[in-house]
Amino acid sequence: MKYVHGYNQRENIRLQDQASTLVDLLHSDTFYEDGSEVLEAGCGVGAQTVTLACNSPDAHITSIDISSSSIVEARERIEKAGYTNVCFKQADIFNLPFEPESFDHIFVCFVLEHLEQPVEALKCLKTFLKVGGTITSIEGDHGSTYFYPDNQDSHKAIQCQVKLQKGAGGNANIGRELYPILDRAGFCVIKVSPRMVYVDSSRPQLVEGFIKNTFTAMIEGVRESSINQGLIDPKTFDDGIRGLSRTTESDGVFCYTFFKAIARRG
């Protein structure tokens, strides 16, 4: 599978930073009832799994990922945190080893953006959801990035990530499409809520956790491939990164919007 981000150690640390910075924004309304069966599809190294397990201690969570090394890391993370309500399995969303209608709820976060066929993935997942069960999907949308001071080179650097992800079959601007793709996959009662991360210097934790360690780190991560593929020259890219870092100064402002969708199998 071609993949823009997700498999190297630096990226795993970034996903952890992102998850812990955004816990309230993304998870404050995700609680599953006691005894319910929950499937987390594409759990990666368990960055969201920890919060799912913590928020719903009496739900039974099954977390799957196509990458066996990520599953090993996720399992270690959950064991270290002391949660016993998660079981892990290496599996492909397009070929899941479960009985149809096995789950009351499905949670899928930052996965659809990497798939060539997100609607097909959602249709596959729907098979394993009980009628009336919910799917929760969270995705970002790089087109929602704006900041002060504005910087055209920063936008060009961000576009490199968008183009690379598109080249790998994904879509870094998928957040805005959650409603239509869930609809096309046959889900009903679809509710999408935009979750904006707004950062200025009065929120130092977000300056560090989101602008620096999450967003800028992600764009920095595509420097080499962007230059190698001729998408940008080194100077413009580095000036773009400096422009992003500039937004962390005392007068800087940074905005990014995630989209969280909850829908039902009718």
For ligand SAM, the binding residues (CB under 6 A) are 6, 15, 19, 42-44, 47-48, 65-67, 70, 92-94, 109-111, 114
Rounded to whole angstroms, the Cα distance separating 114 from 123 reads: 16
Q: How many CA atoms lie within 13 A of 102 on its CB side?
A: 14
Task: Closer to ligand SAM by CB, 25 or 253: give it.
Answer: 25
| Least spacing, CB of residue 153 vs ligand SAM, in Å | 26
C-alpha dihedral sign at 214, 219, 224, 229: positive
Task: Closer to ligand SAM by CB, 45 or 211: give it.
Answer: 45
Rounded to whole angstroms, the Cα distance separating 158 from 139 reads: 16
Task: Closer to ligand SAM by CB, 133 or 170: give it.
Answer: 170
Rounded to whole angstroms, the Cα distance separating 61 from 172 reads: 27
| Least spacing, CB of residue 217 vs ligand SAM, in Å | 13
- Token pair, residue 42, equals 């594409």
- Token pair, residue 114, equals 């990497």
| Least spacing, CB of residue 7 vs ligand SAM, in Å | 7
- DSSP 8-state symbol, 190: E
Select the residue whose beta carbon is closest to ligand SAM and give its number: 44
Task: Closer to ligand SAM by CB, 42 or 175: give it.
Answer: 42
**Radius of gyration of the CA atoms of the chain, in A:** 18
Task: Closer to ligand SAM by CB, 95 or 202: give it.
Answer: 95
Helix segments in the chain, DSSP class H: 9-21, 23-27, 49-55, 68-81, 118-127, 152-167, 178-184, 204-206, 217-220, 223-228, 234-246
| Least spacing, CB of residue 67 vs ligand SAM, in Å | 4
| Least spacing, CB of residue 89 vs ligand SAM, in Å | 10
| Least spacing, CB of residue 4 vs ligand SAM, in Å | 9
Task: Closer to ligand SAM by CB, 92 or 208: give it.
Answer: 92
